[in-house]
Amino acid sequence: MDLFQYDFMLRALVGALIIGLAAPALGIYLVQRRLALIGDGLGHVALTGVGAGLLLNRSPVLVAVIAATLGAVVIELVRAYGRTSGDLALALLFYGGIAGGVMLVGLSDASSGSLNAYLFGSLTTTSRTDLITIGVLGAVLLVTMLVLRPALFAVCHDEEYARVSGLPVRALNLLIAVGTAVTVTIAMRAVGVLLISALMVVPVATAQQVTRGFRSTMTAAMALGLFAAGTGVWVAATADTAPGASVVLVAIGSFLLVALAAAGVRALRRRVRADRATPPPEPVEHEVLLR
């Protein structure tokens, strides 16, 4: 039976494809800045927003966007001006965010199933309104990351050089932080706050195994994100597994396969170069012994 004949599965597939395309487009900048785990921290802050939305009878997604955006701005300001290190600021968001979310959800009338839907994702319950929100935010995020790619790359690669070149470094850093918050919020429906960073980071890490330039890595990462999202939803529909976990496992499996294949190709190339560099053996003259 073709499960994609149902509207909810089609919405799940389209939503996953949008997120699979947009998340690596933002994630490559986080990997470049060595902030691969910021998605987890903001995911936990978004969970606090979800709890606040459920408690106040407001849209959990909208409140989560606001909470994650504020958290992203705080991280950037702490990193730039505070004495606390970036890792410590992320740790505070990790623990405070999830603790606040669990407490607020407990105070609301929502069931534990509502919390699990945001922790681990609930892609098959995506409504038409959710899909429109994911599509609009994902399109804005994707266009922004592509149009501003030279400036964002300059900031992520060498912040001092970008500042000397006249780029608005502080504004661009805040843009990356806010973009991360938006990505976390739209990906929350697909993979859940506990697995958000995987969809932003793993396709980028996979692409880095076979590409060299920033543009080619970004393109390959977006293609791998699409593949992981589409294949993960298909696996979930076929094997009756959790869509979010299936998407992440497909992404990790792709990384392992590509990493092993790339390692094998590099080893083969080294062997071929070594064989070419080794001079052929000199001919040995055989002496004829006369008796």
Name which residue leads in pLDDT, 129 or 24: 24
If you compute the radius of gyration of the chain from its CA atoms, what whole number of angstroms results? 24
Cα distance between residue 105 and residue 48, in whole Å? 8
Q: What is the mean pLDDT of the chain?
A: 81
Nearest residue to 193 (alpha-carbon basis) of 19, 60, 43, 48: 43
Paired tokens of 251 = 């992404």
Contact 224, 100 (CB under 8 A): no
Q: How far apart are the first and last CA of the chain?
A: 89
pLDDT tens, 86-143?
567 667 777 787 788 778 877 877 665 566 777 777 776 777 777 888 888 889 999 9
Cα distance between residue 92 and residue 248, in whole Å: 25
Q: At what angle do helices 169-191 and 243-277 cross, to 10 degrees?
A: 120
For position 289, what pLDDT does the model report?
Answer: 47
Q: What's the confidence (pLDDT) of residue 2?
A: 64
User: Rounded mean pLDDT of 206-225?
Assistant: 91
> What pLDDT is attached to residue 1?
45
Once rounded to an integer, what is the mean pLDDT over residues 240-256?
A: 88
